[in-house]
Structure 1
């Protein structure tokens, strides 16, 4: 087999040269399109189901949310196991699929099962799927540097301006906001006044909800002009909430301000985000979508951030606190330097030991061709150019030239031996 292959190659040297050139060109193209990341993604193939039911203890969350979801999500095709975690007001269910399961197919299967499982949950509780990212999907963290602006205003800019802009970048799965205060109207009910007016907290809640909506009417025509009738009833200020009637006592309406205090404040927080011990900050985390090129996504996000910054208030700017592109560049640069150094050293060793430039040249040419061809296989198996895969290629350079050195040395030795056996007149 090997002898036939060698004989065929010797008889068709031009064909072998064309095949080698084609593989090298294909490999160079594969190097350009290969996805780049700093570290390999070894996370499990999972789908996260998140459910929020604020104000409930972990035990209630476990009994009424997590347990029904876990038991109903078991038995899905290609599922290895299902894990659940319950905490104050929140439930997390992790559905782990086989490694060869396609991630978006898995999300569809989970979503189909949730359509049934949602009927087993308490009223008003809706489970949602987590982002289609992975455990190493956090590629960039940033904060908003805004001197003189309070945390509530910064969080509003982050949630209603920055988040929507950056989330539209190709390859971004989610943009998670952190820090600051999320503004809300807060109504503090006086229990003594509720008892005095014979009211319950539920009646107050229903009254506020009934007065915070918009109703549609119908269309009518007058003088060949069409009009659409609607009523706008959304609450827009503290005074509007205070003047909502809850009950009528002796023809006198009992308003919200008679039984409660209304104020604009921040939502209750379970933690803060502090930077360098200098105080609280507001920012976001960019989560990359599954299977995307981390280097390209980070560059696209940074380009979009430059556009977004043009709409900031005077003095506000982005402050990047974690950027994986630096690690990517350093990792790739280090491996590239190592590859070049190893190629030079191996080439010198081959030339010195063989001391035959044609044999050395044939062996040295194998190095770039083999390295370029290896990227074809990396793309075929969906492996990114990271510190692990590139290190493996660097370690394999010595093995790449071993076969060439052995074959060239053996051929040179046999030819020399055959030449020495010839008669003097035949030489």
Structure 2
């Protein structure tokens, strides 16, 4: 068989040269389009389901949330393993599919089965899918700092959540930007139990009053001189005073406002972690997760370009973005290392061939084959979705 291939190649040199040229061009194209990453993704296809149920104990979360979802997903097609983890107020479920399963097909199947299990879950529980990324999707992270001290941690977190995060998630190839550190602002109502007892108002009534007072009311339209005017009631909460003036009950015809039985303030949400930069103090920040199948190097360059040209000029005075992790440096160093090693090995193989064969034309056959073989190998890498 081998002798016939050699004989055919020797008799049809033009066809062989044409085939080598075609494969080399194809390999060069694959080299340019193969995603670059220093950490190849060899993991199985997995879908993460995250569920929050605030205040509930891990055993209750396990019985009411984790177990119903895991038992339902076991029947999903191409599912190999389903792992569930229950924590205080939250549940994580990992559905691992067979090798080669398309991640978006897998996410669609999980969504179908979540719809089937929804009636088995508590009413206020809403499972959500994790980002369409892999376990090595963490490509870039940054810290939001204010060295002037004009903005506190809650303001830095607000800048991160409402400005930086939304801008970076619009970058092509970014799956998610996870916010870390700082304080999330919230309206906090501290009820005085003695005043509740005095006015004989249950705590549930206060919760219902606050919930009902945070909404707009729709009306009809009025027509004057051929022009229609829409009637509506503006009821969304915009400040602390709006909450304080919510009518909770009435006492002999006199309304009882929330400020009469509770104190209202703007404060931080309870948190279970923090972000510190170089031991100098707390900061806010974000983690950029790269979407599955994207070129990590290109995505990181787009993110840095977005920060430099659009986000930084719009930040409040004194606020800066400091890069804390950038995988592009590791990728570029890895490329330089691979290039250097390929050159070293090519020279070593060439020297060995020349010394042992002691015939330059025969040695050139092996030496000239190496670069073509390396370039052509990228064709397989590209179609196997292996990052280079």
| TM interval, short-chain normalised | over 0.9
Match of 1:320 among 316, 319, 323: 323
Offset of 1:146 from its aligned partner? 1.5
- Would you say 1:141 and 2:141 are equivalent positions? yes
Bigger radius of gyration, 1 or 2?
A: 1
- Aligned residue among 192, 207, 213 for 1:211: 213
Query: In structure 2, what is the equivalent of residue 295 of structure 1?
Result: 297
- Which runs of structure 2 are paired with 1:18-167 in the superposition (5 Å)? 18-147=18-147, 148=149, 149-167=151-169
Partners of 2:123 and 2:197 lie apart in 1 by 28
Q: Which secondary structure does the structure 2 equivalent of 1:115 belong to?
A: helix
Aligned to 2:342: 339
Aligned to 2:241: 239
What value does the CA root-mean-square deviation take over the aligned residues? 1.2
- Of 357, 362, 366, which aligns to 2:365? 362
Residue range with higher mean Cα deviation, 262-271 or 6-15: 6-15
For 1:9 and 1:271, the matched residues in 2 are separated by: 67
Aligned-pair CA distance for 1:65: 1.2
Structure 1 residue 3, shift from structure 2 partner: 2.1
CA separation in 1, counterparts of 2:280 and 2:47?
A: 37
| SS of the residue 1:30 aligns to | helix
Separation in structure 2 between the aligned mates of residue 314 and residue 251 of structure 1, nearest angstrom: 51
Q: Which moved more, 1:160-169 or 1:221-230?
A: 221-230
Equivalent residue, structure 1, for 2:225: 223
Which aligned pairs between 1:8-23 and structure 2 lie closer than 5 A? 8-23=8-23
Counterpart CA distance in 2 for 1:74 and 1:326 is: 41
Structure 2 SS opposite 1:310: helix
Q: For structure 1, which runs of at least 5 residues remain unmatched after alignment?
A: 386-427
2:384 to 372, 381, 385: 381
For residues 272 and 356 of structure 1, what CA distance do their matches in structure 2 show?
A: 68
Kept in 1: contact 2:145–2:156 (CA 8 A) = no
Q: Distance in 2 between matches of 1:195 and 1:272?
A: 38
Cα shift readout 1:208-229 (whole Å, capped 9, x = no counterpart) = 1111101221233211212112
Task: Kindly provide the CA deviation profile for residues 79-124 of structure 1, in whole angstroms up to 9, marking residues without a partner as x.
Answer: 1121111111111111111112111111111101111211111112
The size of the alignment, in residue pairs, is 385
1:214-264 per-position Cα deviation (integer Å, ceiling 9, x unaligned): 122123321121211211101111112111111111111111111111110
Contact 2:41 2:386 in 1 (8 A): no
User: Which residue of the partner structure matches residue 371 of structure 1?
Assistant: 374
Give the TM-score, by structure 2 length: 0.96
Structure 1: which 4+ aligned runs deviate by more than 4 Å? none
Where 1:330 maps in the other structure, the secondary structure is helix
Does residue 309 (structure 1) correspond to residue 322 (structure 2)? The answer is no
Structure 1 residue 312, shift from structure 2 partner: 0.7
